[in-house]
Amino acid sequence: MDSLLKHMVDMTGHRDHTMLDISVISAVQELARASQVRVLTLATVRGKVFVRPRAVIRSNEAARMVDTSDQQHPGDPVERFPALAQCIARHESGADVANEADEHTLWLPIWLGDKADTCLEIVNPTPYTKETIHVIGGIVSVYRNFQNLLDYSERDSLTGLLNRKTFDDQLSKMLAASTEQESVTLPGEPERRAHYNEEMQWLAVVDVDHFKHVNDRFGHLYGDEVLILIANLLTSSFRAQDRVFRFGGEEFVVLLRSATLDNAKKIIERFRMNVAAHDFPQVGKVTVSVGFVSISALEAPVVILGHADQALYYAKSHGRNLVCHYDELVSGGLLQAIESNDTAEFF
């Protein structure tokens, strides 16, 4: 009982999904005496469900996060795990399968409403007792409820997109991860720059054109509906590995992962065109302007955001309904490179 209470305190003491994952698999592995416990991500890509591990613990080993740097690989098709696929299709609470050696695998999808994007996988060398199932069920319930609370705190209440605070956290993590991969030029060495055909990380700032006019003419209820529809178009236009945030008001930010310059342009342009082609109820046509920039671990977040804002301001002041890349504007002599543009107004 003391061990269970200790794990419950540990789980509910975190304000981060990563540490919550580590806590839950550590608790389940110890209390169920499992040989392996994993947290799996259930990602839907083009209507198909893929399974990808994100945290794992094995007996006599420390819990750890699984490397997910290969964002182009969504994982294994759920069909490779028939019992799990059937469990998800039937909206069941769990599935228990034994192999030829009588080693049991228990899958427990974490349902939030009618959707499950996380699953616990517990591997045990012997069948699970009723007591073990009862303990695991309690842990999973706490994990599900706390994950739901964390998710709620990370999202914008109107659009359901990730919020500004979550953006700050994720950009910091992205920069920290990039620091390990990006070569640093030491004093006396020639400067090294990434070529644009190499895979990079990108930050795009999106602003709804003439949004004040929408609110003034049609009212704030229709303005809110425009923001919700823009959020939906952002979600559908960008890829599963990209992260979309509502930054505030009519401004949104996207973190594009592992995309070349050409791919980043195509993805952002696709979104811009999807918005321009969409018919917004009562309002009619709405457009967006976008400024984007590559992310470098050698630059501070405020500088990266400032560069994207400068590119966005250029788009807003040169006709709107445009996608502008900061470095191209600077190299073409269309924009002066300055550290930030915090005072720019976009409408």
Contact between residue 51 and residue 84 where contact means Cβ atoms under 8 Å apart: yes
DSSP tally for the chain: helices H, then strands E:
10, 12
Is 250 an active-site residue?
yes
Contact between residue 268 and residue 323 where contact means Cβ atoms under 8 Å apart: yes
Among candidate residues 79, 250, 299, 339, the one labeled active-site is 250
**Closest-CA residue to 141 (of 247, 27, 263, 239):** 27
> In 238-260, where does DSSP find H-type helix?
none
Q: Crossing angle for the helix pair 17-32 and 2-12, nearest 10 degrees?
A: 170
Contact between residue 311 and residue 324 where contact means Cβ atoms under 8 Å apart: yes
Dihedral of alpha carbons 265, 271, 275, 278, sign: positive
The kind and range of the H/E element at 91 are none
The residues, any chain, with a CB within 8 Å of residue 321's CB and separated by 6 or more, are: 209, 272, 276, 287, 288, 289
Active site positions, annotated: 250
